[in-house]
Amino acid sequence: MVEISPKVASEIASLAYQIETTPKRLRPLPATKSHFKFNLTNVHQGTSGGFFWRETTGFVLIGQGHSQTHKGDHVIAIRGTASLADALTDATCHSKNSDTGSAVHTGFQNTFASFRDNLSQYMRQPEVQKSTGAIHCIGHSLGGALATLVADWIKVEFNKTVYLYTFGCPRVGKKDFAIKSSARIDKIFRCVHGADPVPKIPVWPFHHAPINGVEYVSDRAQGINLGAHSMDASPGYINTANKNDWHHIYSQKAGSLSQRVVLNYNNRLQTTYSTHWADKLAAALMTLMIDGGAAGTVASLQVMGASVGTVYDLMALSVVKIANMAGYEEQVRGMLGHMLVFAGKYSAIPIELTYKFIRWVFDITLGRLTKAAKMALKAT
């Protein structure tokens, strides 16, 4: 079984957006048409939105492989949706258990559940059950998060060969989900843009799959650029459409939240408002928690179903305790000083080692990142 090329995968991710409303016909590009056929009978609806009102629209597009390369394969493409942007960027993001038993973002799981039964009916068709080809799950943005849940569910429920392709995908679940889904899904192609803020949310304790794995970088730009999240327009993921092989896209080890980072307060002005520093600050916080003997707290927070807001309440309390331990005050000051610069605050603000001050620093740091991500999602 052969993976789908970056060119075709990115084309299919874009094609999925055509089904949001009821289209009269689909317009796949030539490279995609040469490998897969799509028709409107294989469009499935789902819901997204808030608790009291949820909009029903087309979410899932299914195609069948017909070329020599992909004969017997099936592709499941899922579109993104701006209506999940508020839930995703809310500083109190909640989690719930996925169909495979691990904690994932509540909004993603609810939307997946809205089209799961229709997808199950398709997967149970005799011709799909008998097929020995791969199931290719593809999505951009929030569609990538949904494609991740679909890929993990299909692997567990139907034991098919599953390949996952995401572009600008946010973090889907807690560490347990990231570890288990990484081990189950046969191949994962996670494509990011160096200046896209969306793959950096939700913030810790959510993780990307695969943990410490490879990510493909469509553009190695620095900083944070709202336009970098676009699928079709420059400076976004359109660059992947020019590549016929994943080996031709720059790849690197994904930024790990488990890397050891200790920050010196005197170097805080080196901090930039960038995706690189978003990862580095999260790693510094994890390092502090572990160095200060709060590894047990970290482990429990990884799997708890509490909101991100509650998690950071508990972490702020832990940081206060660590700051009052011998030998840790400067490490805490260094981390908080760098966070303040990242958040765009005056670099000479006096550091206070109180719960109120530390929780405020967490809020403004996370707030600046999530605001950028929300704007990028809304502009998609």
The rounded distance, in Å, linking the Cα atoms of 231 and 129 is 32
Q: Among 151-155, 218-222, 252-256, where is mean pLDDT lowest?
A: 252-256
pLDDT grade for 238, boundaries at 50, 70 and 90: confident
If you average pLDDT over every residue of the chain, what do you get? 89
Distances from the Cα of 227 to the Cα of 188, 193, 245, 254, angstroms = 25, 10, 25, 21
User: Architecture of 6-255 per CATH?
Assistant: 3-Layer(aba) Sandwich (3.40)
As a whole number, mean pLDDT of residues 124-151 equals 94
The rounded distance, in Å, linking the Cα atoms of 246 and 8 is 11
As a whole number, mean pLDDT of residues 107-122 equals 92
More confident residue, 322 or 254: 322
Residue 26: HSE in the Cβ half-sphere, 13 Å Cα cutoff: 26
The per-residue pLDDT for range 43-59, each reduced to its tens digit, is: 888 877 654 446 778 88
Phi, psi for 365 (deg, rounded to 5) = -65, -50
Distances from the Cα of 286 to the Cα of 85, 177, 260, 295, angstroms = 26, 19, 8, 9
Q: Per the structure block, which two tokens stand in for 360? A: 């405020």
Pairing mode of beta strands 162-167, 135-140 = parallel
pLDDT grade for 6, boundaries at 50, 70 and 90: very high
Distances from the Cα of 126 to the Cα of 24, 132, 158, 241, angstroms = 28, 12, 12, 34
Within 52-174, residue ranges assigned H as helices are 85-89, 106-123, 126-130, 142-158
Looking at residue 311, its pLDDT comes to 81
As a whole number, mean pLDDT of residues 156-168 equals 96
Ordered by start, the domain boundaries in the chain are 6-255, 265-376
Q: Are 201 and 376 in contact (CB under 8 A)?
A: no
Looking at residue 146, its pLDDT comes to 95
